[in-house]
């Protein structure tokens, strides 16, 4: 049972990083320090995640569910989906 | 489709391109051919013309690079980000970069250079990403066997540069809209407890993660099946699904196409050669009898004896009164047959030979 939580948190960390990087690359999520501050209040990651889910016709939850992560891991074009 | 913000475009529609370097994954001729075909796709639907040059600066410079290649958009190694391109304009404007950390191919294997080049060229000409999964300008890499501009792509490029000069305006395939009340189907089958609906190059299925129904290319599951399937049915106790097109059929187990297919329907089921294709098919799990619908007739095949039953073909109306004289698709669920013809769907009780309900064809999607 000890290893199980570690595996989960590691996977979750990877997923968080996948989401962060994907939204920075393709949905203009800013990754500066101020941004981290603001994340405590209104979370731009949730907003950007909703934009991405809407673009791909997924359920717009603002949460990195399995299907959303699945789409993020697919090979794609490097040009952003939202204008810079 | 979406035009790049600010609607950048090339004022001069006669453009030049140059391939600055070549990937070692393919022969130079194969790279030249893939890139040339990609340009032809777009010139055939617009007033644009493209000329390949081998020296000096061209409007569209094409190169294979890896990692950080000093354009403020570094590549990320194998997978992920495959390529990018810059909107119309001077200097780096219009240029296309392919990630050399990918394997570039001219076939099904990842990643097909022609397919990616056709997409990136859309950016070089002023298009942004489309939300239409059937469009070449959709952001994710999907290779469905043939590379063609969808109507969405054609409408996009013509919104920037106007129509092509050839007398017959080219049109492209439209992606089915799952909630279009006029939606009709080519084939429908159960598969391991799910329902799969087929139309042109696409499958549709209900999926809890999608607000309506999931729609994607058939090639995502079965890359070697043809598009435009005509019938499909599941033999559940063999965990097998059979797909029909013309006088051939394929059998799959999950995502694997079984060895030795396609086969001819004459040899395997005993159809006469006058039968050129099957319109629809369904196998009754309770009896092991499979019904094939061909024009206004139906045939019954015994999956256990592996032979056609005597007394067939019959007129459809004899065994299935009320559903009309043509079937597009049919499947069995919870003991009932669901027949589809055009926009209509009939729920049919095979025991009482009665229609129980009449619905819209796309009633299974959460519209």
Q: Describe chain B by its helix, strand, coil percentages, rounded to 5.
A: 15, 30, 55
Per cent of chain B over pLDDT 90 is 91
How close, in Å, is residue A19 to chain B by CA atoms?
13
From B99, B133, B209, residue closest to A59, measured CB to CB: B209
Give the pLDDT of residue A4.
36
Residues near B214 by beta carbon (within 8 Å), at least 6 away in sequence: B204, B205, B206, B207
Helix (H/G/I), strand (E/B), else coil: A73: coil
> Is B257 exposed, middle or buried (CB count within 10 Å of its CB: 0-12, 13-18, 19+)?
middle
Q: CB distance B211–A59 less than 8 Å? A: yes
Please indicate if any CB of chain A lies within 8 Å of the CB of B209: yes
B302 phi, psi to nearest 5 deg = -95, 110
Q: What is the pLDDT of residues B247-267, one digit of tens each?
A: 999 999 999 999 999 999 999
Give the pLDDT of residue A43.
82
The C-alpha atoms of residue B17 and residue B42 are separated, in whole angstroms, by: 14
Give the pLDDT of residue A8.
53
CA B53, chain centre distance (Å):
35
User: Looking at this predicted complex, what is its ipTM?
Assistant: 0.87
Question: Which of A77, A81, A84 to mutate against chain B (most B CBs within 10 Å)?
Answer: A77
Helix (H/G/I), strand (E/B), else coil: B215: strand
**In chain A, what residues touch B98 (CB-CB under 8 Å)?**
none
Q: Is the peptide bond before B313 cis (omega within 30 degrees of 0)?
A: yes
Q: Which of residues 128-167 of B touch A (CB under 8 A)?
A: 128-129, 131, 133, 139-141
* pLDDT beyond 60 at B6: yes
Helix (H/G/I), strand (E/B), else coil: B267: helix
* Over residues B228-232, mean pLDDT: 96
Q: Which of residues 61-80 of A touch B (CB under 8 A)?
A: 65-68, 71, 74-79
- Between these two residues, A20 and A30, which has the higher pLDDT value? A20
User: DSSP characters for B285-306?
Assistant: TTTTEEEEEETTEEEEEETTTT
Quick one: closest CA in B to A83, which residue? B5
Give the pLDDT of residue B202.
96
Structure tokens at B247: 């006088």
Q: Angle A44-55/A3-26 helices, nearest 10 degrees?
A: 70
* Over residues B333-339, mean pLDDT: 96
DSSP 8-state assignment for residue B333 = E
* pLDDT beyond 70 at A38: no
Give the pLDDT of residue A41.
53
* Over residues A39-63, mean pLDDT: 86
* Over residues A57-76, mean pLDDT: 92
The C-alpha atoms of residue B24 and residue A9 are separated, in whole angstroms, by: 40
Q: Output the CA angle B7-B11-B12, nearest 5 degrees.
A: 145
* pLDDT beyond 50 at A36: no
CA torsion angle for A76, A18, A42, A6 (degrees, to 10)?
A: 160
Residues near B235 by beta carbon (within 8 Å), at least 6 away in sequence: B241, B242, B283, B290, B303
Q: What is the pLDDT of residues B267-325, one digit of tens each?
A: 999 999 999 999 999 999 999 999 999 999 999 999 999 999 999 999 999 999 999 99
Options B120, B194, B303, B318, the catalytic residue: B120
* Over residues B320-331, mean pLDDT: 95
Q: What is the pLDDT of residues B52-106, one digit of tens each?
A: 999 889 999 999 999 999 998 999 999 999 999 999 999 999 999 999 999 999 9
* pLDDT beyond 60 at A10: no
Q: Is B234 a catalytic residue?
A: no
Structure tokens at B334: 């919870």
Give the pLDDT of residue A13.
74
Band (pLDDT 50/70/90 cuts) for residue A3 is very low
User: How many C-beta atoms surround the C-beta of residue B289 within 10 A?
Assistant: 16
């Amino acid at each position: 049972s000890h290893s199980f939580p570690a595996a989960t948190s590691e996977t979750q960390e990877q997923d968080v990083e996948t989401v962060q990087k994907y939204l920075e690359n393709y949905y203009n999520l800013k990754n500066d320090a101020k941004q981290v501050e603001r994340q405590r209040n209104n979370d731009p990651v949730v907003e950007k995640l909703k934009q991405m889910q809407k673009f791909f016709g997924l359920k717009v939850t603002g949460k990195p569910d399995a299907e959303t992560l699945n789409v993020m891991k697919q090979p794609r074009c490097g040009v952003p989906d939202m204008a810079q | 489709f979406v035009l790049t913000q600010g609607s950048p475009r090339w004022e001069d529609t006669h453009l030049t391109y140059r391939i600055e370097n070549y990937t070692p994954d393919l022969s130079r001729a194969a790279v030249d051919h893939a890139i040339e075909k990609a340009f032809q796709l777009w010139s055939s639907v617009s007033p644009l013309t493209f000329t390949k040059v081998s020296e000096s600066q061209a409007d569209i410079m094409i190169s294979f690079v890896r990692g950080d290649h000093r354009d403020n958009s570094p590549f990320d190694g194998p997978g992920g980000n495959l390529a990018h391109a810059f909107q119309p304009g001077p200097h780096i404007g219009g240029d296309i970069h392919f990630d050399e950390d990918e394997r570039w191919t001219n076939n099904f294997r990842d990643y097909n250079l022609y397919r990616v080049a056709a997409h990136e060229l859309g950016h070089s000409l002023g298009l942004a990403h489309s939300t239409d999964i059937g469009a070449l300008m959709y952001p994710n890499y999907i290779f469905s066997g043939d590379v063609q501009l969808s109507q969405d792509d054609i409408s996009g490029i013509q919104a920037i540069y106007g129509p092509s000069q050839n007398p017959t305006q080219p049109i492209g395939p439209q992606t089915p809209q799952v909630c279009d009340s006029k939606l009709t189907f080519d084939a429908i089958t159960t598969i391991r407890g799910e329902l799969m609906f087929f139309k042109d190059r696409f499958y549709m299925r209900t999926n809890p993660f999608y607000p309506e129904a999931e729609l994607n290319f058939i090639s995502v599951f079965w890359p070697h099946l043809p598009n435009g399937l005509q019938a499909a049915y599941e033999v559940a106790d063999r965990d097998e699904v059979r797909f029909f097109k013309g006088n051939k059929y394929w059998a799959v187990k999950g995502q694997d196409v079984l060895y030795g297919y396609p086969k001819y329907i004459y040899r395997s089921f005993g159809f006469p050669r006058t039968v050129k294709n099957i319109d629809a098919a369904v196998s009754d799990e309770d009896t092991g009898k499979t019904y094939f619908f061909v024009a206004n007739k139906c045939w019954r095949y015994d999956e256990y004896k592996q032979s056609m039953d005597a007394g067939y073909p019959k007129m459809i109306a004899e065994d299935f009164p009320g559903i009309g004289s043509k079937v597009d698709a049919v499947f069995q669920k919870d003991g009932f047959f669901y027949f589809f013809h055009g926009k209509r769907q009939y729920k049919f009780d095979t025991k009482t030979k009665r229609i129980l309900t009449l619905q819209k064809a796309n009633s299974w999607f959460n519209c």
